[in-house]
Structure 1
């Protein structure tokens, strides 16, 4: 049986922007602290940053929209 592996960047079309890297790092720090529910994550991002590219604060709605945009 062939051993399976995961190449985490196999679908990446370009390197991440600085904003994407900062946002990903902040989300990882929140997860490391046990924050796994959306309201807690939104509160963490509003405190720790980075802020959203549009608007002044994260909301559940603009966070979900941003994740959908970044996932394209």
Structure 2
């Protein structure tokens, strides 16, 4: 039987950009702080960064969802 293992980067097509690294770190800190809903995560990102690349740097629920869809494609 073949030994099973987890490769956390198995779906990665390229290395993340510096912005993607910062965004991922901030989202992880939000989850660690107990944030579990979209509005609270958006507020967290607006407090801690990174700034949204569009919309004058301000995150909204709409552009956060759009960014997540774009980054996961």
- TM-score computed with the length of structure 2 as normaliser: 0.91
**Where do residues 42-61 of structure 1 align in structure 2 (5 Å cutoff)?**
42-56=42-56, 57-61=58-62
TM-score for both structures, normalised by structure 1: 0.92
1:11-33 per-position Cα deviation (integer Å, ceiling 9, x unaligned): 11110000000000000000000
What is the aligned partner in structure 1 of residue 30 from structure 2? 30
Aligned equivalent of 2:65: 64
More helix by share: 2
Residue 6 of structure 2 corresponds to 6
The alignment of Structure 1 onto Structure 2 pairs a total of residues equal to 72
Gaps of 5+ in 2: none
Alpha carbon RMSD of aligned pairs, Å?
A: 1.2
* Secondary structure of the corresponding residue to residue 42 of structure 1: helix
